[in-house]
Amino acid sequence: MKISFDIDGTVTDFSNFVFSAEKYFKRKHNMSIVNPNGLEVEEVYDVKNVLISRGFTEKEAEEKTKKITDKYWVSVRFIKFSLLGRFRKGVKRTIKQLKKHGHKIEIDSSRAKSTKDDFVGKVARSFTRWQCRINGIFLSRKYITFYENDDKKIDGIKNKGIQLLFDDKPEVINEVCRFSKVICINTNYNKDIQFNKNVIRIDGFDNNEPIEAIKKLIGEKKYDIITRKAWRKERENLTAEKDRLYQDYYTLKNEVKEIEEIKKSVYEILKLEERERQPTRKHKHEMEI
State yes or no: pLDDT of 126 exceeds 50.
yes
pLDDT of 277 over the 70 cut: no
d(CA 156, CA 164): 13
Residues 86-94, mean pLDDT to the nearest whole number: 95
What pLDDT, on the 0 to 100 scale, is given for residue 20?
Answer: 87
Question: Could you give the CA distance from residue 196 to residue 169 in angstroms, rounded to a whole number?
Answer: 15
Which amino acid belongs to residue 162? I
Per-residue pLDDT at 150: 95
What is the residue extent of each domain of the chain? 2-12+87-225, 14-80, 227-289
CB burial of residue 14 (10 Å; 0-12, 13-18, 19+): buried
> What average pLDDT does range 91-104 have in this prediction?
92
Confidence (pLDDT) at 113: 77
| pLDDT score of 70 | 86
Contact (Cβ atoms closer than 8 angstroms) between residue 141 and residue 129: yes
Q: Judge contact between 116 and 124, C-beta under 8 A.
A: yes
How does 63-78 read in b/e, with b if 16+ C-beta sit within 10 Å? ebbeebeeebeebebb
| Confidence class for position 15, pLDDT limits 50, 70, 90 | confident
| HSE-up (13 A, CA, CB side) for residue 282 | 6
Residue 96: pLDDT above 70? Answer: yes
Between residues 173 and 40, the one the model is more confident about? 173
HSE (CB half, 13 Å, CA atoms) of 92?
11
What is the rounded CA–CA span in Å between residue 202 and residue 185? 5
How, if at all, do strands 104-109 and 144-146 pair?
A: parallel
Whether 168 has a pLDDT exceeding 90, the answer reads yes
**Residue scoring higher pLDDT (183 or 83):** 183
Res 266 pLDDT > 60: yes
At 201 the pLDDT is 97
- Checking if the pLDDT of 26 tops 80, the result is yes
Among 3-12, 161-170, 275-284, the least confident range = 275-284
**Fold (topology level) of 2-12+87-225:** Rossmann fold (3.40.50)
Q: What is the reported pLDDT for 224? A: 72
Reported confidence tier of residue 243, pLDDT bands at 50, 70, 90:
confident
pLDDT of residue 289: 47
Produce one character per residue of 23-59: b if its CB has 16 or more CB atoms within 10 Å, e if not. Answer: eebeeebebeeeeeebbebbebbbbbbbbbeeebeee
Residue range 150-176: mean pLDDT, rounded: 96
- Cβ atoms 158, 174 nearer than 8 A: no
Highest mean pLDDT among 13-27, 161-175, 205-219, 261-275: 161-175
Residue 285, pLDDT > 50, answer: no
What is the phi/psi pair of residue 4, to 5°?
-115, 145
If you average pLDDT over residues 23-38, what whole number do you get?
92
